[in-house]
Amino acid sequence: MTGSGSWTLPPLRQGHPADQALLERRARAGGTGDAAGAVPEAVIGGVRCLLIEPASGAAHGDILYLHGGGYRLGSPWAYIDYARLIADAAERRIILPFYPLAPENPFPAALHAIVAVYRALQDGRSVVIAGDSAGGGLAAALCILAARAGERPAGAILVSPMLDLTAKSASLERNAARDPLFSKAAVQDCAQLYLQGHSPDDPLVSAVNGDPADFPPMLLLTGGAEVLLDEALAFASRLALGDRRVSLHVAPGMGHVWPLMSPGSAEAREAVAAMASFVKGLGTAGSRPST
């Protein structure tokens, strides 16, 4: 991939070991790789990735999808079934990278990894960047860096994204009793482990502060009952006022990352359909990685 600018990332920093409680949470929630051998893998840009092809076998480009988990949890193994739904509906291959987690790897380690994956793709102009929760925050940060380097993706999909690590949105309190998966305390814990002294106002960790001009056409999905609702709405308004193309999908009554957590629901099916419609509206140019 070539561009008119240059990729400038903050330097890597030393982290600290995860405590036993976090290691146990990772083991319970992150997936174990029991499907090893059943899901193709590749090393892209030096980063291990799972590859999910559409059942039809005809992929019209790639979606680089970044898993959630508050920057300190999660794994592509937990996303296989969900990614297959998106791949089949959007007719694109899903690339799921194993990016490094905090606190062992604080900001900007995850960004270094996903930039390496993105830059290894042959034609970034056709790639759609996507992610949920912390993965949504990383996807937004990747959009900013790609724009600065002159290598913009075709579009971006953010699902229940973490867009403001200052944890000041009113919905963090207002929807606390309605969103069992996430909370203000969880956001603060994520921020502490991920930032480790870095400013939470930096657009690369709080994209709500970013320049609208840095973002490609975007689909923003949020649950009407989730604690991150207000920052998603604020971000969508900021992009619209900045004259950027943004589509907002609000699922009434749904909590954090409902398409993944409630895959059989009508709301999850509607979300996946919205993703597919958005992607197909961007065009069908293909992109394959250098592995």
* Residue 243 pLDDT: 82
291 in any annotated domain: no
What is the H or E stretch that residue 232 is in? helix 229-241
* CB-count burial class (<10 Å; 0-12, 13-18, 19+) for 25: middle
pLDDT at residue 24, as a whole number: 95
Residues β-bridged to residue 131: 66, 158
**Residues noted as catalytic:** 133
How far is the C-alpha of 121 from the C-alpha of 288, rounded, in Å?
6
Look at residue 123 in the predicted model and tell me its pLDDT: 74
The structure tokens listed for 234 are 């604020």
Write the CATH number for 224. 3.40.50.1820
Q: What is the pLDDT of residue 287?
A: 40
Does residue 108 sit within a domain? yes
Domain assignment present for residue 239? The answer is yes
Burial class (CB in 10 A: 0-12, 13-18, 19+), 236: buried
CA dist 117 and 71 (Å) reads 17
CB 144 within 8 A of CB 214: yes
Q: Which residues contact 147 (CB under 8 A, 6 or more apart)?
A: 213, 214, 215, 216
Nearest CA among 116, 115, 110, 152 for reference residue 135: 110
- Check residue 288 and give its pLDDT: 39
* Cα–Cα distance for residue pair 204/138, rounded to 1 Å: 8
Question: Are 133 and 259 in contact, with CB atoms under 8 Å apart?
Answer: no
- Domain extent, residue 100, equals 38-281
Residue 261 within a domain: yes
pLDDT at 1: 53
Q: Decide if 116 is inside a domain.
A: yes
Q: Which secondary-structure segment (H or E) carries 63?
A: strand 62-66
pLDDT of residue 5: 64
Asked, for residue 27, whether it belongs to a domain, the answer is no
| Number of domains present in the structure of the chain | 1
Q: Which helix (H) or strand (E) holds 47?
A: strand 47-52
> Which H/E stretch holds residue 51?
strand 47-52
Rounded distance between C-alpha atoms, residue 41 and residue 51, angstroms: 6
Strand partners, 94: 52, 63
In this structure, the number of other CB atoms found within 10 A of the CB of residue 49 comes to 24
Which of left, alpha, beta for 70 (phi over 0: left; psi -120 to 50: alpha)? left
**Phi, psi for residue 203 in degrees, rounded to 5:** -55, -25
Q: Per residue of the chain (291 residues), give pLDDT as tens.
A: 544 468 999 999 999 999 999 999 999 876 655 555 589 999 999 999 999 999 998 999 999 999 999 999 999 999 999 999 999 999 999 999 999 999 999 999 999 999 999 999 977 679 999 999 999 999 999 999 999 999 999 999 999 999 999 999 999 999 999 999 999 999 999 999 999 999 999 999 999 999 999 999 999 999 999 999 999 999 999 999 988 899 999 999 999 999 999 999 999 999 999 999 999 999 644 343 333
Residue 5 lies in a domain: no
Token duo for residue 259: 């398409």
pLDDT for position 38: 85
Where do we find the tokens 């004259």? 243
Query: Whole-model pTM?
Result: 0.94
Note whether residue 248 is domain-resident: yes
